[in-house]
Structures are given as C-alpha cells and as structure tokens.
Amino acid sequence: MTDPTSLPNFAQAGPPQSPAAPPQAGGSLREKALAALAADNIPAQVDDDGDIVFSLQEQQLLVRCIDSEPGLALLRIFGQWQITEDLPSEPAKRLNAANDVNLAINFVKLGIAGDNLIVAGDHLVGPYDDVAELIKGTSGMLLQAVQAWHQAVTGAGPHVAEATPEQLQASADALAEQARAAQQGGEFA
C-alpha cells in the first residue's frame, strides 16, 4: 500500500496527445500566439508587461504566455471591464452574478476587483496543442461570459443560490448554446 501522505510522482513528459498530429513549429508560446492572431488578420501588439493585446468585437483582450518546462507552457487569455454606474453597485449582487457564471461555465473564471469585472481562461499548452484554436475558443467564451454576467447582475435570471434545479439546467443549456455559437461564429471565422 502506498503512503497517502506522499506526493504523486508525475512523469515529466508523457506520450503526445495526438500522435497523428505533428507538434507545432518551434518558438516561444508568445511567438506562436502572435502568429496565430496574425494568421487571422487580427492586429496585436506586446505591451510593457509582455502581454499580447488585441481587440475582438471591439473589446480589448490580452494573452499572457508563460513558458516553463520544456514542452509545457501556460496560456492565459483575459480581459477586464469597468462596471458602469447603471449596473447594480451592491458587491453581493456583483459577486453572485460572477459566481453564477463561474458555476455554469467551468472553462472561465470571473472575479470582481473594485469596480472592474475580470474574466480569464487558462490552458496548459503542450507541443501538440493548437494555440490558434485555444485563443479562438477561449476569446469567444470570455466575451460570452461577460454577457452572461451582465444578464445575471441585471436580474435576467435567478442566481444559483436561489434557483430550482430546472432553472439551473435551463440556464446552463442556454449558456452552452451561446458558447457553441460564439466558437462557431465571430471574427475568427
């Protein structure tokens, strides 16, 4: 029997996820992300923090690339939006709305920092991962999450803590459909 208090021994590098697909060309994750945006004719630049800045549907998004161990990197796509005065100012209402979206869309994270809504999606990227598809899909999901938060904070649906199971399922189904539509359409197509 193994010692339950010992740390697991994870292999440093395993077999490729898709042996039929060749690994992406070399270079840093930032270079791959910039190339992916350029291939879709989306202007991008690197800011003073080293993040890639681009616009999608007139919304500014950022990509942070952290190369770590050989063959593994972290890709974070994120954005922040100032919460306008016409939206509820109660912190609990804002946080409940963020909680609703976090529970409905596990793929993205939402948080409130002061009067800003922060939305992010993270990926561990290996040599066989398609960086362009990760950026496309995550960017669409982030914008859908912002829309879902806005609907939740303005009372367009019940909060998770107050909803019936049927209401929760209907809300999750609607968000999933919005996410599929965002991934299939949009400026990347």
Q: What is the mean pLDDT of residues 130-145?
A: 95
DSSP state of 4: T
pLDDT of 156 higher than 80: no
Q: How many percent of the chain have pLDDT more than 90?
A: 54
CATH class of 29-184: alpha beta
* pLDDT score recorded for residue 100: 87
What ranges in 53-130 are assigned the alpha helix state H? Answer: 91-104
Structural domain spans, the chain: 29-184
The answer for residues whose C-beta is within 8 angstroms of residue 98's C-beta and 6 or more apart is 110, 111, 112, 117, 149
* pLDDT score recorded for residue 4: 47
pLDDT of 61 higher than 60: yes
Closest of 156, 18, 185 to residue 87, by C-alpha: 156
